[in-house]
Amino acid sequence: MGRYVARRLLQMIPVFLGTTILIFLMVNVLPGDPVAALWGDKPPDPAQMAKIKHDLGLDLPLWQQYLHYLGNLAHGEFGVTIAGSRPVIDEMAAAFPVTIRLALMAFTFEMVVGICLGVIAGIRRGKLIDTSVTIFTLLVISVPVFVLGLLGQQVIGTQLGWVTPNVQDSMNVGQLLLPAIVLGSLSLAYVARLTRTSIAENARADYIRTAVAKGLPQTRVVRMHLLRNSLIPVVTYLGTDIGALMAGAVVTEGIFNVQGVGNLLYEALARREGAVIVGIVTVFVLIYLVANLVVDLLYAVLDPRIRYA
């Protein structure tokens, strides 16, 4: 087990490097000059442009810029915004707690409801409840998050007035409820489907037949034998789910006016703030990699075949 953990940790390093290089290239190699854009429609002043570029280190060769970026990363130093010269790290520090709270709410929602729906549908396969859940999840997957968000805002917020359509206080749990549900809905559908398939597959397994042949009561067979095995793939899915939540946050926070990191990223994209983009995406990637690592370890804990392979 210890070796497995060490191996996974080591694997993370080259992947992290590779991913950050990729991001860095994607942001910096492509056409478009963010410094020139600062002047808007007016022609930029070459001397001032050169000075700004120099200050921001944008006139160095790319590989040097990358190394600077990596070095700064280690210090938590993401540079400053081009527009307001504010430290990127401060902007992010203010926005992250909001998004974390939103994401946690979404995550809890999708897990609890998703797994319950999936279990019920999987056990009663072919019956009405199964078909209903299938149709429901199909619909949720088909409607993109932003459509769901807009509809939710319109119907529940504006028309029905059950919640405030726009979030005023980004840390208020009650106000974050609707955005969290919208954010988690897509993942909920996937979790429900995955659970349902896993349960349906495992229900026909030989070891379930053995459990029944042993004279174990139905509840025990489902709880100890069926669920223990069926939930393993769901746990592994949760790693990739974090990625979906992050992307979804960009859209959802925009719609509901939540002052989180997603919103920050969206505005940075609009204003071509390279440092902010790279900073946020890097942190996202880091979180994503760590989450996947944790999930892999969890998987090893849950499935002894991996542990002692």
Partner 1 sequence: MPENTVKMKKNDAATAAEEPTAVGPTVAEAGPAPEKPRSLGADAWADLIRRPLFLISAVLIVFLLVMAAFPSLFSSTDPTAGDLSNHFLDKPKLGSLFQPDWFGYDAQGRSIYSRVVYGARVSIMVGVGVTLLTTVFGGLLGMLAGYFGGFWDTALSRITDVFFGIPFILGAMVVLNAFTDRTVWTVIGALAFLGWTTIARVMRGAVITAKHADYVVAAKALGAGTGRILRKHVLPNAIAPVIVVATIQLGVVIVAESTLSYLGLGLGTNDVSWGADISDAVKSIRNAPHILFFPAGMLSLTVLAFIMLGDAVREALDPKLR
Partner 2 sequence: MTLLDKTDSVPSPRGAGDDGTPLLEVRDLHVEFHTRDGVAKAVNGVNYTVDAGETLAVLGESGSGKSVTAQAIMGILDMPPGKISKGEILFRGQDMLKMSGEERRKMRGAKMAMIFQDALSSLNPVLSVGYQLGEMFRVHQGMSKKEAKAKAIELMDRVRIPAAAARVGDYPHQFSGGMRQRIMIAMALALEPDLIIADEPTTALDVTVQAQVMDLLAELQREFNMGLILITHDLGVVADVADKIAVMYAGRIVETAPVRELYKRPAHPYTKGLLESIPRLDQKGQELYAIKGLPPNLTRIPTGCAFNPRCAQAQDVCRTDVPPLLQVTERDGGELAGRGSACHFWKETIHG
Binding site for partner 2 (CB under 8 A): 205-207, 209-217, 220, 224-225, 228-229, 232, 302-305, 308
146 binds, among partner 2, partner 1, none (CB under 5 to 8 A by kind): partner 1
The structure tokens listed for 278 are: 């790279």
224 binds, among partner 1, partner 2, none (CB under 5 to 8 A by kind): partner 2
Residue 35: partners with Cβ closer than 8 Å, 6 or more residues away: 44, 49, 52, 53, 56, 58, 82
211 binds, among partner 1, partner 2, none (CB under 5 to 8 A by kind): partner 2
Question: Closer to partner 1 at the Cβ: 244 or 302?
Answer: 244
Does position 27 interact with partner 1 (CB under 8 A)? The reply is: yes
Residue 91 and residue 94: Cα distance in Å, rounded? 5
Instruction: Kindly tell me which residue out of 2, 3, 10, 32 binds partner 1, with binding defined by CB under 8 A.
Output: 32
Identify how many contiguous H helices and E strands the chain contains and give both numbers: 14, 0
Instruction: Kindly tell me which residue out of 4, 66, 96, 288 binds partner 1, with binding defined by CB under 8 A.
Output: 288
Task: Name the residue type at position 235.
Answer: V
Phi, psi of 80, deg, nearest 5:
-120, 160
Residue 117 and residue 94: Cα distance in Å, rounded? 36
Does position 200 interact with partner 1 (CB under 8 A)? The reply is: yes
Residue 139 and residue 186: Cα distance in Å, rounded? 10
3 binds, among partner 1, partner 2, none (CB under 5 to 8 A by kind): none
185 binds, among partner 1, partner 2, none (CB under 5 to 8 A by kind): none
Stretch that binds partner 1, among 68-76, 134-142, 176-184, 220-228 (CB under 8 A): 134-142
Residue 50 and residue 184: Cα distance in Å, rounded? 45
Residue 25 and residue 250: Cα distance in Å, rounded? 22
Does position 15 interact with partner 1 (CB under 8 A)? The reply is: yes
Kindly state the helix (H) or strand (E) to which residue 302 belongs, with its residue range: helix 274-302
| Total residues interacting with partner 1, rule: CB under 8 A | 49
Residue whose pair of structure tokens reads 């497995």 in the numeric block: 4
Positions that interact with partner 1 (CB under 8 A): 11, 14-16, 18-19, 22-23, 26-27, 29-32, 138-139, 141-147, 150-151, 154, 158, 200-201, 204, 206, 243-244, 246-247, 250-251, 254, 265-266, 269-270, 272, 277, 281, 284-285, 288-289
